[in-house]
Amino acid sequence: MGSIYISNGLKIKGVYLKVALKIIDKSTKKTDKINFCYLCTNLNLHSYFMKTLKDFNFNAKKAIIRVDFNVPLDEHFNVTDATRIEAAKPTIDAILAQGGSVILMSHLGRPKGKEDQFSLRHIVAKCSEILGVNVQFAADCIGDTAQNAAHNLKQGDVLLLENLRFYKEEEAGDVDFAKELASLGDIYVNDAFGTAHRAHASTTIIAQFFPEHKCFGLLLAKEIESLNRVLNNSVKPVTAILGGSKVSSKITVIENILDKVDHMIIGGGMTFTFIKALGGKVGDSICEDDKLELALEILHLAKQKNVHIHIPVDVVAADAFANDAHTQIVDVREIPDGWQGLDAGPKSLANFKEVIMASKTILWNGPLGVFEMESFAKGTITLGNYIAEATENGAFSLVGGGDSVAAVKQFGLEDKMSYVSTGGGAMLEMLEGRTLPGIAAILD
């Protein structure tokens, strides 16, 4: 990584830390500022540099908060899952309690221009209900409408701006658009982990207009801390459970976390690429034939790093991809032609239980089977119960990634996990070791 040049400032554990740490390559002498976020996250220094709500006095201040209120709506525009609104409530409550006012900005869906079906006015009532205040609504996010609404805010007021993505400038990361948004508030708060991997105007560019007055919200800070606890400050043994259909979609994650885990459980459709690479018969199961060599390389690398890889030994095989298909339990290496593996079998689950119950830190990303179909949900449910039991016994469990999050919610396991991440793509990119623009912009 090069040498770290540090000088006067805060002294922690015998090391003087300069406010603006720079990583300088010994050979080129070039400063790599983009590694600042990586440094803070991967060297466990993040807590010393992360500005959060506690670093500011919000009394009589207007906080402009980037939230992720991209919530599902039914055909009558009723919110069907308010989890993301509820997740932002602690940050909003904390600012209001100090005598501040709040301006909320978010996107909803993927509108092409200004389309009423994607208007955030549809969620105002639900926001008011959850936050316990009468949420005001501005029919635009910039211009006179937004300026007047923000200007008239009083202490304790909450204003929701119209959909940011009604303007193409949002996703383009337009500086002028970000500047207009910034003009509405006194302090910028990013509390949207789900969009932290996007260099959009409201998630990244806007931060430059608040050089000394920007911070993480409680939700985003918790996301960073939870991931850091798994990846860099974990209690061993550490187990990562990776599901999903394709090895190719998880290869970067696997490579990045092999140095950080003791055990890796591989499940879902990925199983069959590994099994075929090892000479097994996978029948009609999903398999990436062009990734067989890659699967063997992963197994070899894991062995070099003394990481124990656990793959299903039996599966629930079906003669069709359907809930009412005929099923049988078969050896994962001997799946008959015309049959496909759709869930982990009982012997596999028994093996996984032994690993999970001995773990002190658990990362779960991806289901073990096609849990959306009741006939193939048992593996994922059972795995979730094992993790819940291990958590109750003192392990730290982090669940992240769209499908695994959906599974713990569907099966009532959410409250039994240490932390359930709100960001699918953002979490995956952090697991891959990438610097997230929305996080780097606050740390810069």
Q: What is the dihedral of CA 149, 154, 158, 164, to 10 degrees?
A: 30
The tokens for 315 are 């599966």
Q: Which of 51, 109, 360, 402 is catalytic?
A: 402
Q: What is the dihedral of CA 121, 181, 50, 39, to 10 degrees?
A: 110
Among residues 268, 247, 266, 250, which one has the least CA distance to residue 377?
268
267 is catalytic: no
Q: Cβ–Cβ contacts within 10 Å for residue 183, how many?
A: 13
Q: Cβ–Cβ contacts within 10 Å for residue 13, how many?
A: 5
What phi and psi, each to the nearest 5 degrees, are found at residue 219?
-65, -50
β-bridge mates for residue 138, sequence order: 161
Q: Which of 2, 109, 425, 433 is catalytic?
A: 425
425 is catalytic: yes
Q: 354: buried, middle or exposed (CB in 10 Å: 19+, 13-18, 0-12)?
A: exposed
Q: Which of 61, 62, 66, 84 is catalytic?
A: 84
Q: Which helix H or strand E contains 125, and what residues bound it?
A: helix 124-131
CA distance 18 to 12: 11
356 close to 393: Cβ distance less than 8 angstroms:
no
**Residue that is written with structure tokens 């006012």 in the block:** 101
Maximum C-alpha span of the chain: 70
CA distance 181 to 141: 7
C-alpha 337, offset from chain centre:
38
69 close to 126: Cβ distance less than 8 angstroms:
no
The tokens for 185 are 């508030």
Q: Which of 229, 246, 333, 360 is catalytic?
A: 246
Can you say whether the dihedral through the CA atoms of 343, 346, 352, 356 is positive or negative? positive
246 is catalytic: yes
Catalytically active residues, by annotation: 84, 246, 402, 425
